[in-house]
Structure 1
Amino acid sequence: MKLIGIEEHFLTAEVRNMWRRIGLEASDPSVAIHSGEIETRLLDLAEERLALMDETGLDVQVLSLTTPALHDLGPESVAIAQRVNDAIAVVVSKFPARFQALATLPVTMPDEAALELDRCITTLGFKGAMLCGRVGTQNLDDPRLLPIFQSAEALQVPILLHPRIPDISVRKAYYSGFKPEVDAAFSMYGLGWHYDAGIQFVRLVLAGAFDRMPNLQVILGHWGELVLFYAERLSAMDRVSGLEHPIATYLRRNLYITASGIFLPHYLERAVNIVGVDRLLFSTDYPYQYREGRAARCFLESCGLDEAGKNAFANGNWLRLTGD
């Protein structure tokens, strides 16, 4: 059974150097975690990555530029995105049975980002795009970012909403007061990343994005970035939202959920109950959640789904979503 991981990350030296050049670490401590072994694995797009895929039991990685991607760059991000995408297209062409890709977009330039998404899909053969939460001070439902989502819907490709660090004012209010390293972890992988990504999706729902673009498909990692665990509470907003459908409809019609290396059967069960088995996608969140011992394959085999469900989770849902 082919196992496809759809949230598997990379980094290029150019992007890393640009983050350093603009001093991004001062405002986004996630930049600092891209160091040591993590950085080495992010930069590697050949033999070591393939060997670790084999070790964990993953057949295909869908590559995406790690957070915060190009969200803090200006007009220069257009050319950088093109270079990143061209480089990844070469990697995919070299290992077509092992790699696919999500587009890197110059999101601060939405019109250009829409054009780059079109190029990536129609010319380079990519499968969708990844966004890393807010763009500057703009939430993803900001009308200025609409061209990106319109392009994705028109091209019939999904957008993975990846976490990024909350705004500094939010971090000061909710994620501070401890040691600096604890504050940083709390605002990132401890909790803050995941609230922020989930809120971006909920904002898209409440803004009517899926009423205007009913065929737009969005992916949330980490079993739904907390959204699924509060689906009942979210549904209470139906009486005031003014949306065309109950919020539960958008969860089952416009949302896909992926594991992001959190291999917990009871989380999977919750996702099945909310969005359905046909909207589950597999991922290991490489290299952040990498585990030895054929962990990916073992989780698939023991996850509790029947054979049809395992096949859908492992590859079938992704192949259907991307038209393969």
Structure 2
Amino acid sequence: MLGASVASREASAQMAKAPMRKIATEEAFATPELAKAWLEIARSEPNSSLDIPTGILSIFDNPRPGSNQDRFRRQLLDVDAERIRDMDEAGVDMQLLSVTIPGVQIFEPARAGELAVTTNDHLAAAIARRPTRFAGLACFAPHDPVQATREMERAVNALGLKGFIVNSHTQDLYLDDPRFAPVLEAAQSLDCPIYLHPRAPSNGMAAPFRDYSMGGSIWGFGVEAGTHAVRMILSGVFDRYPRLRIVLGHMGEALPFWMWRLDHMAARRAKDGRMKPLSLAPSEYFKRNFAVTTSGFESPDVLDLVIKVAGIENIMWAIDYPYESSRDAVTFIEGADLTASQRASIFHRNAVRHFRLS
């Protein structure tokens, strides 16, 4: 037994010294066609969505040269030289690419479907040029479920994409709405995760977020995406689709902090008849149906909480490129109080398993 223990410690020490593969799982891109279409809708309908002042106009409408917004625009549109150079300098082996907010969901259904096809083709071509460095998540138009499911199948079976990106609400509706059932059925059937990414709060909840720049990543994004996930849990979506898998960024969009109270209040409301009883507690759905990434959230205390609530097997590393620093994201996990095996799980093993990466 003593010899086995020594051998185990030596193996762990060797693993800690060896270069560790790093797969970043929430890395944004855009296409010139999308950027042009976003600006057209932003200029013609400037008050149609809080996404316009919080993102589209600041990044794509002639940002000040040298500003962060100017850099974001350049790096979002680049899926070649500058992105690869940044990856190499930070020691990142692979990025899992997904279209930045608001994706195609801001457009009317027919236009959204067309842009989803061209965006996914653009992504697949970038991956084909560098198949060891990039993998990708497909976008689609949820508000046209027939076209959406067709594009989901094409993206996985023909283009080789590894899952889907949904930039949260579509026409102010969330994925618990029955009209999106075909989308959830397709994701479950294809056995591919949906990355539920934030965007600015929907029009029904946007008013308090318009002041103090609250609509974006400082607060509104997380509140909005967390609300979306809770709606899916409490509506019984995961009783109807028990094999459906959802990925949440930013350490779980605050759900790990709320999980005890979600369990407590869901049980109370089911008991007194205010809510339809669920088969499982919210925390059990969270461990069974969700995975969490670390994108843009480099807090050791929060990481400890997420490990306890989600389980180490459900946590994946992410940078949130280009909005966050690749080097800082690497340094955070390399310096975290983790075993070598835990670090490998977060850096690459879980991503390989959840997204079926080579």
**Shared fold by TM > 0.5?**
yes
Counterpart position of 1:86: 121
What per-residue deviation string (whole Å, max 9, x for no partner) do you get for residues 264-315 of structure 1?
A: 2111111111010000011000011125xx3233222211111111111011
Counterpart position of 2:7: none
Q: Residue 34 of structure 1 is aligned with which of 38, 43, 59?
A: 59
Query: Secondary structure of 2:227's partner?
Result: helix
What per-residue deviation string (whole Å, max 9, x for no partner) do you get for residues 189-234 of structure 1?
A: 1111111101111111111111111111101111011111111111
Counterpart position of 1:12: 31
Question: How far off its partner does 1:247 sit?
Answer: 1.0
Q: Does 1:126 align with 2:157?
A: no
Q: Could you tell me whether the CA contact under 8 Å between 2:39 and 2:57 is conserved in 1?
A: no
Q: Could you tell me whether the CA contact under 8 Å between 2:21 and 2:93 is conserved in 1?
A: yes
What per-residue deviation string (whole Å, max 9, x for no partner) do you get for residues 63-93 of structure 1?
A: 1000100111121221211111111111101
Q: Could you tell me whether the CA contact under 8 Å between 1:281 and 1:314 is conserved in 2?
A: yes
Count of residue pairs the alignment pairs up: 315
For 2:117, give the aligned amino acid.
Q
Q: Does 1:188 align with 2:222?
A: no
1:92 to 1:25, Cα distance in 2 relative to 1, 3 A: farther
Counterpart position of 2:104: 70
For 2:188, give the aligned amino acid.
E
Counterpart position of 1:98: 133
Q: Residue 314 of structure 2 is aligned with which of 264, 273, 279?
A: 279
Aligned mates of 1:47, 1:7 — CA distance in 2: 19
Q: Residue 262 of structure 1 is aligned with which of 269, 283, 297?
A: 297
1:189 to 1:297, Cα distance in 2 relative to 1, 3 A: closer
Counterpart position of 1:22: 41
Structure 1 residue runs of 4 or more that deviate by more than 3 Å after TM superposition = none
For 1:21, give the aligned amino acid.
E
Query: Secondary structure of 1:22's partner?
Result: helix
For 1:238, give the aligned amino acid.
A
Q: Residue 304 of structure 1 is aligned with which of 337, 341, 352?
A: 337
1:302 to 1:125, Cα distance in 2 relative to 1, 3 A: same
Q: Does 1:213 align with 2:241?
A: yes
For 2:40, give the aligned amino acid.
R
Query: Secondary structure of 2:171's partner?
Result: coil
What per-residue deviation string (whole Å, max 9, x for no partner) do you get for residues 125-175 of structure 1?
A: 111001111101212211111111111111111111110111234222x22
Aligned mates of 2:88, 2:32 — CA distance in 1: 25
Q: Does 1:61 align with 2:61?
A: no
Q: Indicate the RMSD between aligned Cα atoms, in angstroms.
A: 1.4
- Judge which range, 263-272 or 278-287, deviates more: 263-272
Structure 1 residue runs without a partner (length 5+): none
For 2:81, give the aligned amino acid.
E
What TM-score, normalized by structure 1, do the two folds share? 0.94
Structure 2 residue runs without a partner (length 5+): 1-19, 61-69
Greater Rg over alpha carbons, structure: 2
Counterpart position of 2:4: none
1:151 to 1:39, Cα distance in 2 relative to 1, 3 A: same
Q: Does 1:157 align with 2:176?
A: no
For 1:97, give the aligned amino acid.
T
Aligned mates of 1:115, 1:303 — CA distance in 2: 42
What TM-score, normalized by structure 2, do the two folds share? 0.85
Query: Secondary structure of 1:245's partner?
Result: coil
For 2:333, give the aligned amino acid.
L
Aligned mates of 1:204, 1:79 — CA distance in 2: 27
Aligned mates of 2:280, 2:241 — CA distance in 1: 13
Question: How far off its partner does 1:107 sit?
Answer: 2.1
Counterpart position of 1:238: 267
Question: How far off its partner does 1:25 sit?
Answer: 4.6
